[in-house]
Amino acid sequence: MDNILAKVLPQEGGLAGTSSGAYNAAIALSGLLALVGVAFGIHTFFIGHEHAYGVTRDVPWGLLIAAYVFFVVTSTGLCLVSSIGHVFGVKAFQPIAKRSVFLAIASIIAGFLVIAFEIENPWRMAIYNVISPNPTSNIWWMGTLYGAYLFFMLIEFALLQMEKHKQAGMFGLMGVIAGVAAHSNLGAVFGLLNGREFWHGPYMPIYFITSAMMSGCAAVIFFHWIAYKANGWKMSKELEESLQSVAKLGALLYVVIMFFTTWKVLSGITGQPPGKYEAMQAILTGPFAKNFWIGEIAMGLVIPFITILAVRARNLTALFFASASSVIGIFFMRYDLVVVGMLVPHFHGMDIVGQPHLYSYAPTLHEWMVTLGGIGLCVMLFLMGERMFRGHLSESH
């Protein structure tokens, strides 16, 4: 074990992390946030989920499912974007590989932390997912494939550390396959529900994979910039160019998602399809309009896209702010996608007396704290990773 650790953890070379008080404080603070989140999560088991969380019979999924989706989308995206270089051999994407793979692992672990507190009986999942599997269930496939995905990514990361790039690439490919399969199944968890018009159809799995790539591009730039700024390192020319390439890919994906979103909206309002139309109105002009127009459209898509164009994908500081805006916007995308899909009442066509036009949901303190705990864990792992793996430098590039 020590032998393996010695191989995985670089003892010298690479970039020495800063030992500044601010950096230590950031690690401590994010760690504390993670602990507080876990404490709130454990508290939930004592007082009962129905008291701690804002989800109801009518709207059974809320902020925590959205946060889980956010983390696993980011993880899948990091995996996919990094694979362009070290799995599929595109040179321009190779310098970002190690850090991105590490972050993919960190963010999926944060996602698992959040989902563990969202699910009422996670211990039963560990048992019955294995001894009573349901092959028609997208949730089952997603959980199982994400387990495999994490396994492949961990091995890939260890092999990358040992500079065994060929074998790492193989495990990377398996990670990509498992990740794409898992992630499209997550889309299908929503998309194959015939009774939920807003979600139903092939759009969800396709959108999930595409927006994962987009999220991945934003996350790569976001975390690389912070890592180098916080530690006072200077980027190599190769890395700078690599991030610029990522930004260009990102620009393309922002356009693709804008295109997808445009047609999703138009198909939701044209002919006023029952169920879908009401949900779409909630987003366009209703209670979720601010989330949609400011969060999703402005912060998530338009601002980052225009910024990348304006600096011609060169100025890394500008690209960082574009990515930061996008990461925040993407969180709104996940939240709206999950919650709005359940807002239209089940018997919406029947004019039920006393039934609201739309159900309502608002996250509680516990849901927010568990979500922040997930973010804290992800940030802490990221900051510690920089130090432990000495800037994720690779000898070959």
Say whether residue 354 binds another protein (CB under 8 A). yes
Instruction: Choose which of 119, 177, 235, 256 interacts with another protein (CB under 8 A).
Output: 119
Cβ nearer to another protein, comparing 293 with 359: 359
128 near another protein (CB under 8 A): yes
Nearest distance, CB of residue 42 and another protein, angstroms: 16
Q: Which is nearer to another protein, 1 or 353 (CB)?
A: 353
Alpha carbon separation from 357 to 223, 272, 346, 350, 352 (Å, rounded):
42, 15, 11, 11, 10
Find the binding residues for another protein in span 129-148 (CB under 8 A): 129, 132-134, 136-140, 143
Nearer to another protein, 116 or 256 (CB): 116
Site string for another protein, 265-304 (x = CB under 8 A): ----------------------------------------
Size of the site for another protein (CB under 8 A): 41
Cβ 27 to another protein, closest distance in Å?
A: 33
Q: Which residues neighbour 210 within 8 Å (Cβ) at sequence distance 6 or greater?
A: 253, 256, 257, 260
d(CA 135, CA 123): 20
* Minimum gap (Å) between residue 175 Cβ and another protein: 22
Answer for which of 20, 349, 362, 396 binds another protein (CB under 8 A) is: 349
Indicate the residue among 61 and 152 with the shorter CB distance to another protein: 61
Residue closer to another protein (CB basis): 137 or 210: 137
Q: How many CA atoms lie within 13 A of 151 on its CB side?
A: 9
Contact 279, 294 (CB under 8 A): no
Q: Is 351 in the site for another protein (CB under 8 A)?
A: yes
Q: How far apart are CA 390 and CA 397, in angstroms?
A: 14
Contact status: 364 vs another protein (CB under 8 A): no
Distance CA 95, CA 91 (A): 8
Report the residue from 92, 125, 235, 265 that binds another protein according to the rule CB under 8 A. 125
The span of 95-103, 248-256, 280-288, 343-351 binding another protein (CB under 8 A) equals 343-351
CB of 133 to another protein, least distance (A): 7
CB of 128 to another protein, least distance (A): 4
Contact 186, 145 (CB under 8 A): no
Shortest Cβ 273–another protein spacing (Å): 11
Token pair 């807002």 in the structure block, residue: 343
Q: Which residues contact 355 (CB under 8 A, 6 or more apart)?
A: 345, 347
- Measured from the CB of residue 303, what is the shortest distance to another protein in angstroms? 32
Q: Which residues, numbered 45-84, are part of the site for another protein (CB under 8 A)? A: 48-50, 55, 57-58, 60-61
**Largest CA-CA distance found in the chain, in angstroms, rounded:** 71
Among 194, 234, 237, 271, binds another protein (CB under 8 A): 194
Give the integer Cα–Cα distance in Å for 75 and 146. 10
Instruction: Considering the complex, state which of residue 351 and residue 395 has its C-beta at the smaller distance from another protein.
Output: 351
55 vs 153, beta carbon nearer another protein: 55
Rounded Cα gap, residues 70 and 212, in angstroms: 9
End-to-end C-alpha distance for the chain, whole angstroms = 28
CB of 155 to another protein, least distance (A): 25
Q: Which of 4, 9, 88, 120 binds another protein (CB under 8 A)?
A: 120
Distance CA 131, CA 182 (A): 20
CA 14 from chain centre, in angstroms, equals 28
* 3-state helix/strand/coil string of 312-345: CCCCHHHHHHHHHHHHHHHHHHHHHHHHHCCCCC
Measured distance CA(246)–CA(81) in Å, rounded:
8
Q: Residue 125 CB, nearest distance to another protein (Å)?
A: 4
DSSP state of 281: H
The letter for the amino acid at 15 is: L
Task: Give the Cα separation of 227 and 44 in Å (integer).
Answer: 34
What does the binding site for another protein look like in residue numbers (CB under 8 A)?
A: 48-50, 55, 57-58, 60-61, 119-122, 124-125, 128-129, 132-134, 136-140, 143, 189, 192-196, 342, 346-347, 349-355
